[in-house]
Structure 1
């Protein structure tokens, strides 16, 4: 991705930062933000992206560099070792390599029954031993909150806010419709008492030039409710060649570095600098109770 615009202080080896990338609607740039953020965090931490989306709706299978076994290589209802989890990951290129865990099988393969519970993905990140895990989510925020309230359940949005050491990134397209959807989701999250002071907003431009007035006004509102607001520019190189080609414009990389710095600063404000040690999973014998991560 070229020359970096800044330096990030390295995370302690025993830290574990979870960064769920969430959005109110589709088309908000979640996967692009996840990719750019992971590439920047890799300069400060051993980093992975966890792709929670179905294979045929996800761009990650087409972005991976050196593919690993993929999610299908993690057997259901069996104990998982650190080596097995890491071997399932694809190695992503760049000045500092990082990893991505996605479904790399052919499109005709039977769909995997992936877990929706954030705790299962958090547990997978713990077994893998990464310092930073960026989670590319697929569900709409406000709809999830409303469904959970009506059903009397926790919901995925609350689950991601409540996993240990989580700094959610809230994505929206920098358009009238995009920021309106995010503002509505933020109001719903505020009503549900979610920790918005630990969330960072990322507004992804859909065209060249200065953001529209409605987007600038939304950014002002969001800056009063979230830890930070970062604007990501429209990148013709990414749109024309895709992220796998690595043709990211300098200003895009600068914005990604700002986003990574905002995430780390938010984590330090919440839990201290350096980050405290995270809980480590106890090694399991072959006869032990299996981890609840179904395939």
Structure 2
């Protein structure tokens, strides 16, 4: 169920940028699947990129995106500036039902040395902004509730809060549509509320693990969450995705899954427009690199 929405296909203003961190309190909550389906839909409205924050051997993105054919994150050394062209050339490309979108991931062979990737959202935001993308979907890996609670007792800042504090951010919170998944989600929502994070512009996705009507506990939780969150979207079980992942072309995605993806994208855009304005305002732009003086020969 979701609140009132606008068309997902309304094109973004050229200078706008929307940040969508896809988060969960635990693994196995369909974060990567949700990020993929959302990118498929937003590609019709904006120049879109997915940022893969997972370690390479724990990520599905290199396989899904064919990233071994692109330079990937390894082509962007952190100690050297990169041009927009270099950043975009490092990304893999995926076909959407309408248009294409990009993925920044590490597509190297399994035996190569792990990359030292930044943890802070601001670094990923700067990378996406320098690449010129308008819709930035972050497939995160940190556990939301634990991350927030830990900051009460230790010095490191919360990644969840840092993502939510970025300009023009609409968080997406995922959970399995099971009794255990709902309990974990409800605990995470209590922590989000206690920490004053923006539930009113957060979209909740409940991912089914089997066909049929959601269990009563899931339906009850969805009704309660719809009063707090911007929207609650039900992602149906898709046997083809469960069996084959999202390597196939979009045409193979089942109609009910595609409809849920459209509802999700519409909910995200509606939350953004109701929170930040319609059309979306211009986003901060990274400062240009200083000119490098070339000595005369």
Aligned to 2:270: 265
CA distance in structure 1 between the partners assigned to 2:111 and 2:136 by the alignment: 29
TM-score (norm 1): 0.93
Matched, 1:180 2:163: no
Gaps of 5+ in 2: 1-6
Aligned to 1:71: 73
| Structure 1 contact 65–93 (Cα < 8 Å) conserved | no
Deviation of 1:154 (Å): 2.6
Alignment of 1:1-295 (within 5 A): 7-65=8-66, 67-95=69-97, 96-246=99-249, 247-285=252-290
CA distance in structure 1 between the partners assigned to 2:199 and 2:96 by the alignment: 32
| Structure 1 contact 55–103 (Cα < 8 Å) conserved | yes
Instruction: Write out the 4+ residue segments of structure 1 that deviate beyond 2 Å after TM superposition.
Output: 285-288
CA distance in structure 1 between the partners assigned to 2:277 and 2:96 by the alignment: 29
CA distance in structure 2 between the partners assigned to 1:173 and 1:85 by the alignment: 34
CA distance in structure 2 between the partners assigned to 1:203 and 1:81 by the alignment: 39
SS of residue in 2 equivalent to 1:150: coil
CA distance in structure 1 between the partners assigned to 2:9 and 2:178 by the alignment: 30
Deviation of 1:287 (Å): 5.5
CA distance in structure 2 between the partners assigned to 1:80 and 1:211 by the alignment: 47
CA deviation profile, 1:219-251 (whole Å, cap 9, x unmatched): 112111110000000001111222111321000
CA distance in structure 1 between the partners assigned to 2:161 and 2:82 by the alignment: 26
Aligned to 1:3: none
TM-score (norm 2): 0.92
CA distance in structure 2 between the partners assigned to 1:10 and 1:30 by the alignment: 25
Gaps of 5+ in 1: 1-5, 289-295
Deviation of 1:125 (Å): 1.0
- How many residues end up aligned between the 2 structures? 283
